[in-house]
Amino acid sequence: MAKERHWIMFWDMVSPLYDLFENIYNSKVYTGTGKKVAELIEPSDEVLECACGTGAISIFIAQKCKRLVATDFATGMLKKAAKKCRNYSNTTFKKADITNIKCKGGCFDKAVAGNVIHLLSEPEKALHELWRVVKPGGKIIIPTYINMSKGTGTAAVKFITLLGADFKRQFDLDSYKKFFADKGYSDVEYHVIDGRMPCAIAVITKKS
């Protein structure tokens, strides 16, 4: 519990500067990821977003979907995201834990979890929950930085770690694909947004 409080406090602390850092360091990927995720969203979709952070992806999803429920466990991040998306009446923000989503199964057409898998001690719990809340035929969309693809990405992670972030694992594209294969997910497509710290978007289809 103490470790969880420390983790929440870290993200609350960095929330005012998070967008500034990303836009200066990795702007092409930061905006490109949101745009690519939005391409995977239909106008009729009801979408759950976990670990929404400051709303970098939320702002693009909100413009496409029927309804968006965006969640995070850090209040500071949620406040920033809500402000960013204040003009979209189809969007609500809630504090929530990605490993224990409080809703019944099969509620959403799409579930999105951006740049969080590498931070979790037990990512399989999050994957299970995302799978559970998506309708049969729906998609789970998981963008994650593949920082090991480039030296610049590795250096950035070292800097963020010094500030207090806790990376449980790091990926390049091959190890990211292996991660999902090892977890038993076979129907996965991948999109890569290239830049200083590239991002790989895994798209898992929940077959009917």
Q: Indicate if the pLDDT at residue 198 is higher than 50.
A: yes
Contact 48, 107 (CB under 8 A): yes
Kindly report which listed range (2-6, 35-39, 106-110, 176-180) carries the lowest average pLDDT score: 2-6
CB atoms within 10 A of CB 134: 24
Question: Residue 15: which of 101, 73, 93 has the closest Cα?
Answer: 73
One-letter amino acid at 179 equals: F
Distance CA 111, CA 47 (A): 6
Q: Which one of 25-29, 43-47, 96-100 scores highest in mean pLDDT?
A: 43-47
Q: Are 202 and 170 in contact (CB under 8 A)?
A: no
Question: 81 - beta bridge partners?
Answer: none
Share of the chain above pLDDT 70, in %: 79
Confidence of residue 2 (pLDDT cuts 50, 70, 90): very low
Q: Could you tell me the maximum CA-CA distance found in the chain, to the nearest angstrom? A: 44
Predicted local distance difference test score (pLDDT) of residue 163 = 44
10 Å CB burial of residue 24 (0-12, 13-18, 19+) is: exposed
pLDDT given for residue 203 in this prediction: 98
pLDDT for 151-189, tens place per residue?
555 555 554 554 445 678 889 999 999 999 999 998 899
Mean pLDDT of 27-45: 95
Q: What is the pLDDT of residue 187?
A: 86
The mean per-residue pLDDT over the stretch 135-162 comes to: 73
Looking at residue 1, its pLDDT comes to 45
Q: How far apart are CA 34 and CA 61, in angstroms?
A: 7
At CA 60, angle to CA 54 and CA 64, rounded to 5? 140
